[in-house]
Structure formats: C-alpha cells, structure tokens
Amino acid sequence: MIEEPFATGTTLFHSRDARVKLIPAVAITLILALTSSFLVAGTGCILTGLLLILSRPSPRLILRRICRVNIFTLFLWLTLPLTYGGDTILPFLFLDLSLDGIRMATLITLKTNGILFSFLALLATSTLASLGHGLEKLGMPRKLTFLLLFSYRQLFVIHQEYLRLQRAARLRGFIPANSLHTYRTYSHLFAMTLVKSWNRAERVHQAMVLRGFNGTLIPLNQPQLSKNDYLFLTTILLISFFLATIPFFC
C-alpha cells in the first residue's frame, strides 16, 4: 500500500542527483504558488506536464494520483462558483454562478496541477532516502534528516504491524460499524501498534548504539554531481526563470 511507484526507472530524471531536482522543484513550486496570472499558471502547467511525460510514468498510476490530489480542487469547484460573490453573475439553469468564483477555481486548478506535475516529474522520481540525503546536503538540520530517514525506514514495518493486527481482528469476526465498540477496537489496534513501535525503537536504538552510532547516517552511495547534473539543473532553472519573467513581457 505504501510504495514509491515512480521512483524506479531509467529516464534522465531518474538518474539525476536528488539535489539538482530539489532546487528547481522548489523554484517552480514557488513561482506557480505565488502567481496570480493565468498565463504563468497555464504555461507552467503545460511545461511541467511535458516534464512529467518525459519522466515516463505509468499512465494508469499517474492518472489515479492526479485524480486523488484533485479532490480538494473539486471541492473548490463545487463551492467557489456558488459562494465566491463578485459583480458578474452567470445564470446557469436555476443557479447563479459567480464568474469571479469560476475564474478563481480555474486559476487554482492550473496552479495546483502545475505544481503536482513538477513534483511528480522531479521529486517522485527519487526515493525518499536519496531525497533525505539531498536535503541534508542542501542544509536541512541533521536531526531532522535523521528523523525523516528513520521514519521512512520504519514506516513499512509499522504499517505491516498494523495490518497484521487488523487482519487478526477481522479473523475474530470484527466488522467496523458506527459504534463505540468499533472506535474502541480501532483505538486498541493503533495503541498496540504504538506499543510495538515503541519497543522496537528501544531495541533498534540499543543495537545502533552498540554499533557505534553517533547521530550520522552514512548513505551507501555518495554520488558526485556530474556534468549532466549541472546541465539538467541549468535547463530546469532556465524554464523556471522563463515562467517567472512572463508577466514582464505581457
């Protein structure tokens, strides 16, 4: 259930160092998040969409992901045209739709999806482990990196543990319903997962101290930035620069 389906591949996005993807990803996200221009949001959405296509993800998985993230956008589409207000009202069947509301919902849809595409193309093509080490090299506090990498490592174990307990409950005839019994059962399942995680943390900590752990995690491969990495960084930063300067030319 928890997996990184886009992180494996052979495209030029997958073989780049996490650092040269993190910097332009943040740049593009900032530009698109802060813009209020349709032209920038629209162009951004198209360009990041192209980047996403170049990273060659599985179409079925990517569509499912895009739909799931757009649930919030759908909520805005259902509420903003009816409640946003403004001067221009568009009569539609028996409803009065606010033109400003529709405009706002369109702008947010373009921005959200542009950012999502860049995230999927640039960051989802790395594993969290390499993103974590990349973030540390870019200045993220060491303790936070450690928290991130270690949570990532244990996530799958804890989830398996929870699923095992849930399966056991089901085998004993537990059927979730709207009842206090259901809430108590879920609480106990989760609390037991916490107890097991806590005990595991103690054991792992002791084992790591025994092996001389001093607060640093050393990655197995420490890639050096290659010429291609710099070329990639420059190209994507140029795209970001182009997006950021569009309003000055129009």
Partner 1 sequence: MHISEGVLTAPVLIGGAVLTAVGTTVGLKKLDYDRIMTVSLLSAAFFVASLIHVPVGPGSVHLLLGGLLGLLLGWGAFPAIVVALLLQAVFFQYGGIVVLGVNGFNIGGPAVLCGLSLRPLLKGSKKQGMTAGFLAGCCSMLLSALLMAGALFFSDQGFLHAAVILLTSHLPVMLIEGLITMFVVGFLARVQPEILSLDTRK
Q: Residue 73 CB, nearest distance to partner 1 (Å)?
A: 7
CA 25 to mean position of chain CA atoms: 11
What is the footprint of partner 1 within residues 210-229 (CB under 8 A)?
214-215
The encoded tokens of residue 121 equal: 């193309």
Give the type of residue at 40. Answer: V
- The nearest distance, CB 113 to partner 1, in angstroms, is 8
* Interface with partner 1 in residues 191-210 (CB under 8 A): 191-195, 197-202, 204-205, 208
**Binding string, 73-102, against partner 1, x = CB under 8 A?**
x-xx--xx-xxxxx-------------xx-
Is residue 137 involved in binding partner 1 (CB under 8 A)?
Answer: no
Contact in structure between 128 and 4 (CB atoms under 8 Å)? yes
For residue 149, give the amino acid letter.
L
Could you list the beta-strand ranges (E) of the chain.
89-92, 95-98
Q: In the numeric block, which tokens belong to residue 42?
A: 């629209």
**Binding flag, residue 111, partner 1 (CB under 8 A):** yes
Residue 218 CB, nearest distance to partner 1 (Å)? 16
Stretch in the footprint of partner 1 (CB under 8 A) among 2-10, 12-20, 49-57, 217-225? 2-10
- Report which secondary-structure segment, H or E, holds 78: helix 71-83
Of the pair 122, 239, the CB lying nearest partner 1 is at 122
From the DSSP assignment, how many helices (H) and strands (E) are in the chain?
9, 2
How far is Cα 250 from Cα 243, in angstroms, rounded to an integer? Answer: 12
| Shortest distance (Å) from residue 179 CB to partner 1 | 9
Among 72, 92, 230, 241, binds partner 1 (CB under 8 A): 72
